[in-house]
Amino acid sequence: MAAEETQYPDLVIVGAGLFGLTVAQQAVEKLGVNVEIIDIRDHIGGNAYSYMDPETGAEIHKYGAHLFHTSNKRVWDYVNRFTSFTDYVHRVYATHDGEVYPLPTNLGTINQFFRAHYTPAEAKALIEEQAGELAGTDPQNLNDKGIQLIGRPLYEAFIKNYTAKQWQTDPSELPASIINRLPVRYNYDNRYFKDTWEGLPTNGYTAWFEKMIDDPRIHVSLNTDFFDESQPFNKKALLAAGVPVVYTGPVDRYFDYELGDLKWRTVDFKEVRYDEGDHFGCPVMNFSDADVPYTRAIEFKNFNPERAAQQNPDKTVVWEEYSRFATRDDEPYYPINTEEDKELYAKYAERAAAEPKVVFGGRLGTYKYYDMHNVIDTALTAYEEQVEPLLKK
């Protein structure tokens, strides 16, 4: 169909992740417009998408563990319009040298590691003493920064090899900025997040996302590539027609990588199934030692103990997580953000700002790592400050 014959909606959103879904929901609710969401994948929800595993009854987070937490009341009130949340509290454990420890580093970790019974004050003095070899210095690499923050013994046990696996690089060759801080708690609190609200969507992530766009004025086209000119909602046709676009794909891809590629890390998963009801006894187990090739393992059943009656008591599924540098064909997870990357993104951001009817958002569109609540917050703000003014023109 020729571009001039196509009946375009009021707004096209590229990407059905949380940023795009939030903007779509707001546009329809506030202005009653018609919205088309396109996504190259075969599902909505972006990297937060989940599905049910029929054998075990576990909700699988297809792109790795997604845990909702926030201290932002605007975001919390907003998401509760579409889903309720369980009372899940995230706690992480780490296997080191054949022993399991609680993380983040807390008084329990310290006393177990040193086979001691330190008081909070004694533990703090110990850590300060062990970090003292680099006191007064300004470490430029991650290895020395880690030692300065938590002392050599704890750093080498829980951070050094884990980080080397994450980055496929020796920490002495990584910038110190990657770990500006390492939390150490001088009490026995091993709750991973410190936010006011925390939980998992009661009926799963996909049910939450479907509720957000449950409106006849929102239409979703999956398996649809924004850059494929054989389909009507493509970049060239939409720009020519002057249709407002919210773009949440990779910002360098939008500009056909003209200035170069922004660098990302990606994650591979290896699925392992066990003929037992529970393999790790927790949802996430980190592996801190170099002789285990993966960084962590996720046992999905343990995110939802409230669903025990619907789960298979004799089977469980675990995903082992391997980190590596991403190519253009991989799912980008974490921006690498070297100084070179930051400079390159600044150039792309300048180009993006010059696109009169395109709003760039989300992790990929802004080259930033966001938790889910950050994505929603930035989407609500982008709608108010950028998208709504475009739609009112």
Catalytic residue list contains 253:
no
User: Within 10 Å of residue 206's Cβ, how many Cβ atoms?
Assistant: 19
Catalytic residue list contains 322:
no
Catalytic residue list contains 371:
yes
Catalytic residue list contains 321:
yes
Write down the catalytic residue from 265, 320, 345, 363.
265
Catalytic residue list contains 217:
no
Alpha-carbon 10 to chain mean position = 30
Q: What is the DSSP string of 295-359?
A: SEEEEGGGG-GGGGGGS-TT-EEEEEEEEEE--TTSPP-EE---HHHHHHHHHHHHHHHT-TTEE
Write down the catalytic residue from 321, 348, 363, 367.
321
Catalytic residue list contains 296:
yes
Helix then strand then coil, in percent of the chain rounded to 5, is 40, 20, 40
Q: Give the closest residue to 283 by CA, choosing from 266, 296, 269.
A: 296
What is d(CA 277, CA 236) in angstroms, rounded to the nearest whole number?
52
Query: DSSP assignment, residue 201?
Result: B
List Cβ neighbours of 97 (8 Å cut-off, separation of 6 or more).
Answer: 157, 289
Q: CB of 10 within 8 A of CB of 34? A: yes
Write down the catalytic residue from 59, 185, 348, 383.
185
11 residue type, one letter: L
List Cβ neighbours of 29 (8 Å cut-off, separation of 6 or more).
Answer: none
Write down the catalytic residue from 97, 369, 384, 385.
369
Provide the token pair at 242: 């002057």
Helices (H), the chain: 18-31, 73-79, 107-113, 120-131, 142-150, 152-154, 160-167, 205-212, 235-241, 251-254, 339-353, 362-366, 372-382, 388-392
Residue with tokens 């253009």: 328
What is d(CA 223, CA 41) in angstroms, rounded to the nearest whole number?
5
83 residue type, one letter: T
Write down the catalytic residue from 181, 256, 275, 339.
181
Catalytic residue list contains 101:
no
Active-site annotation, residues:
181, 185, 265, 296, 321, 369, 371
